[in-house]
Structure 1
Amino acid sequence: MLAMQYQITLPADYDMGIIRERVATRGFALDQYPGLGLKAYLIREAGVNGSAVNQYAPFYLWNAPLAAGTFLWGGDGFGNIVRDFGRPVAQTWVGAGFARGPAGDEAPTVAVRSIIHLTDDADPQPLVASRVDALPALVGQPGLHSVAVAVDPRTWQLVEFSLWAVAPDAEWIEAAADSRDTETYEVLHLSSPGLARLARR
């Protein structure tokens, strides 16, 4: 599994209805994309849920890294992003764990992304193992669609990405934000052609 996200920060006065319309009319294009586990079409709006920015920030989980490459430089998908917004940095993480929650068959409406920064002298093994071992407890959370844990071995950041059919309560988000960089997003659409394969990893 390979996790990927690019974040396109837009002007403060940008009409986010443009992004909503873009996803409504084009989001289905990846609903059957080979090698894709899931793509969550995410936004943040300035002044909503504590966001200071307008942002379009899709998050991907790939079953096949080669498919991620094909998307980035072999077709129109990412090419349309480059054409319309310029070329964003596509951050990637190597997958460590994935699980589906009790709302795994429902449409997610909220996503939470938490990043833990490892110190320079930290051994990544115990931290990664602890987050993966915590997945069985996390999947019992009501409203949870799915959750993934992945690591960027270049910057040594661990990302925990969760999708929710019903927004988690404020206490859960506060706990997730403890000692981490945590962002909450609205999910406009979910393409999940390879979700079942992700769930077996």
Structure 2
Amino acid sequence: MHAMQYELTLPADYDMGVIRDRVARSGHLLDDWDGLSVKAYLIRERGQRGSPVDQYAPFYLWNTVEGMNAFLWGGGFQGLSDDFGRPSVRQWTGLAYEEGGGSHARFAVRRRQPVPDSGPLAGAVEGAVREVRRLAAEDGALLAAAAVDTSRWELVHFSLWEHDAPKADGDVFEVLHLSAPGVDRLPRGRRW
């Protein structure tokens, strides 16, 4: 599993209806993308759910590097780059994934945190695995995942929720559309 996200932070007076319309028109284009497990089309709006910014920030879970690369280099990402400029794309290596009992993604929570400088690395990532299990077991959770960027020593926790009171800490996003063509092929549990 590979996690990926880019963020487009928009001006405070930006009409977020433009992003909503864009996703309504083109969100379905990744509904059958080979190698993609999940793409959550995410926004957050300034002043709502604690957000300091207007932002479009899709989050991806990939089954294959080939699928991710086909998206980045084969045209899927180009339309966004043409319209908004090319954002930095963050990537993390998967640590754990679990499914919850929820049925319809309305909100997402993303939390990034540094891997502690001291102590064994195994302890830090085992804690992330336990957090994935805990989140997935919460009422209303659809899924939870954790991944790590070893170039920054940063953990990312990502979860999808069917209600607006997710039981997770982090940045809360509204889910405009969910493409999940390969979610059933995403291996559950710890990834090593």
Which of the five TM-score ranges fits, normalised by the shorter chain? over 0.9
Which residue of 1 is the match for residue 4 of structure 2?
4
Which residue of 1 is the match for residue 178 of structure 2?
190
**Counterparts of 1:122 and 1:5, CA distance in 2:** 28
Letter in 2 for 1:164: W
Which residue of 2 is the match for residue 54 of structure 1?
54
Deviations 1:135-186 (A, max 9, x none): 33332211101000100010010011000011235xx34xx3xxxxx21100
How far is 1:118 from its partner? 2.0
How far is 1:119 from its partner? 3.7
Which residue of 1 is the match for residue 163 of structure 2?
166
Which residue of 2 is the match for residue 179 of structure 1?
none
Q: Percent identity?
A: 47
**Counterparts of 1:198 and 1:168, CA distance in 2:** 26
State how many pairs are aligned.
189
Letter in 1 for 2:100: G
Which residue of 1 is the match for residue 89 of structure 2?
90
Residues 37 and 192 of structure 1 are in contact (CA less than 8 Å); yes or no, is this contact kept in structure 2? yes
* CA root-mean-square deviation: 1.4
How far is 1:120 from its partner? 3.6
Residues 100 and 199 of structure 1 are in contact (CA less than 8 Å); yes or no, is this contact kept in structure 2? no
Any idea what SS the aligned residue of 1:34 has? coil
**Counterparts of 1:18 and 1:6, CA distance in 2:** 18
Which residue of 1 is the match for residue 23 of structure 2?
23
Where in structure 2 are the equivalents of 1:27-176 lying within 5 Å? 27-75=27-75, 77-103=76-102, 106-168=103-165, 172-173=167-168, 176=169
**Counterparts of 1:68 and 1:122, CA distance in 2:** 33
- Greater shift in the superposed pair: 127-136 or 6-15: 127-136
Residues 143 and 167 of structure 1 are in contact (CA less than 8 Å); yes or no, is this contact kept in structure 2? no
**Counterparts of 1:136 and 1:69, CA distance in 2:** 29
**Counterparts of 2:42 and 2:119, CA distance in 1:** 31
Letter in 2 for 1:20: R
TM-score normalised by L of structure 1: 0.89
Residues 94 and 151 of structure 1 are in contact (CA less than 8 Å); yes or no, is this contact kept in structure 2? yes
Unaligned regions of 5+ residues in structure 1, if any? 177-181
TM-score normalised by L of structure 2: 0.93
**Counterparts of 1:139 and 1:102, CA distance in 2:** 8
**Counterparts of 1:80 and 1:122, CA distance in 2:** 43
Deviations 1:75-109 (A, max 9, x none): 2x100011000000100000010001011xx2200
